[in-house]
Structure 1
Amino acid sequence: MKGKRIIVTGGTTGIGRATIALLAGRGARIVTVGRDPDALKEALDGFADLPGEVHGVSADLGTPEGIETLFATADAQLGGLDALVSNAALGAEPIDEMADADWRYVVSVNLMGAMAAARGALARLRDGGQIVMVGSISASIHAPGESVYSATKAGIRAFVETLRKEVASRGIRVGVVEPGTTGSDMQAADPTEQEEQIARDQMLRAEDVAEAIAFLLDRPARVDIVSLRIEPRLQELP
Structure 2
Amino acid sequence: MNRLDAVSSEYFPNGATSVENDLVLHWYPRRITARFGHCRNLLELGIGHGFTTETFGAHTDRHVIVEGSPAVIAQFRGNHPDSAAEVVEGYFETFDTDERFDVIVMGFILEHVDDPGLLLARFRRFLAPGGRMFVAVPNAKSMNRRLGLELGLIDDIYSLNANDIALGHQRQFCRDTLRALLHEHGYAVVHEEGIYLKPLPLAVLKTLPDMAANLQAMLKVGVDFPDLCVGLLMEVRPA
TM-score normalised over the length of structure 2: 0.50
Given the superposition, is the C-alpha separation of residues 135 and 110 from structure 1 closer, same or farther in structure 2, using an over 3 Å criterion? Answer: same
Given the superposition, is the C-alpha separation of residues 67 and 8 from structure 1 closer, same or farther in structure 2, using an over 3 Å criterion? Answer: same
Of 121, 132, 135, which aligns to 1:130? 132
Partner AA of 1:18 in structure 2: F
1:153 maps to: 172
Tell me by how many angstroms 1:24 deviates.
0.4
Residue-by-residue CA offset, 1:80-116 (whole Å, 9 max, x unaligned): 11222112459xxxxxxxxxxxxxxxx6x34724x33
Maintained 8 Å contact 1:32/1:57: yes
SS of the residue 2:127 aligns to:
coil
1:93 maps to: none
Maintained 8 Å contact 1:35/1:58: yes
Given the superposition, is the C-alpha separation of residues 89 and 197 from structure 1 closer, same or farther in structure 2, using an over 3 Å criterion? Answer: farther
Give yes or no for the alignment of 1:5 onto 2:41: yes
Residue-by-residue CA offset, 1:172-195 (whole Å, 9 max, x unaligned): 8575754456xxxxxx98xxx998
Equivalent-residue separation in structure 2 for 1:156 and 1:11 (angstroms) = 24
1:112 maps to: 115
Equivalent-residue separation in structure 2 for 1:158 and 1:9 (angstroms) = 21
Superposed structure 1 runs of 4+ greater than 6 Å apart: 193-198
Equivalent-residue separation in structure 2 for 1:119 and 1:4 (angstroms) = 23
1:184 maps to: none
2:235 maps to: none
Equivalent-residue separation in structure 2 for 1:198 and 1:129 (angstroms) = 44
Residue-by-residue CA offset, 1:132-191 (whole Å, 9 max, x unaligned): 1112233343443471359833267523356359434xxx8575754456xxxxxx98xx
Tell me by how many angstroms 1:22 deviates.
0.6
Residue-by-residue CA offset, 1:14-61 (whole Å, 9 max, x unaligned): xxx2222211023342222333213213314544535xx41223334x
Tell me by how many angstroms 1:202 deviates.
8.9
Given the superposition, is the C-alpha separation of residues 131 and 124 from structure 1 closer, same or farther in structure 2, using an over 3 Å criterion? Answer: same
Maintained 8 Å contact 2:197/2:230: yes
Structure 2 unmatched ranges of 5 or more: 1-36, 232-239
Give yes or no for the alignment of 1:31 onto 2:31: no
Residue-by-residue CA offset, 1:62-95 (whole Å, 9 max, x unaligned): xxxx4113xx2xx26xx211222112459xxxxx
Equivalent-residue separation in structure 2 for 1:230 and 1:8 (angstroms) = 23
2:123 maps to: 121
Partner AA of 1:200 in structure 2: M
How many equivalent pairs are there?
Answer: 171
Of 73, 80, 93, which aligns to 2:100? 80
Tell me by how many angstroms 1:127 deviates.
1.2
Equivalent-residue separation in structure 2 for 1:117 and 1:198 (angstroms) = 43
TM-score normalised over the length of structure 1: 0.51
Give yes or no for the alignment of 1:67 onto 2:70: no
Identity %: 12
Give yes or no for the alignment of 1:200 onto 2:200: no
2:86 maps to: 55
Tell me by how many angstroms 1:123 deviates.
1.3
2:237 maps to: none
Maintained 8 Å contact 2:175/2:227: no
Equivalent-residue separation in structure 1 for 2:173 and 2:85 (angstroms) = 30
SS of the residue 2:51 aligns to:
helix
Maintained 8 Å contact 1:111/1:156: no
CA RMSD, Structure 1 to Structure 2 (Å): 4.6
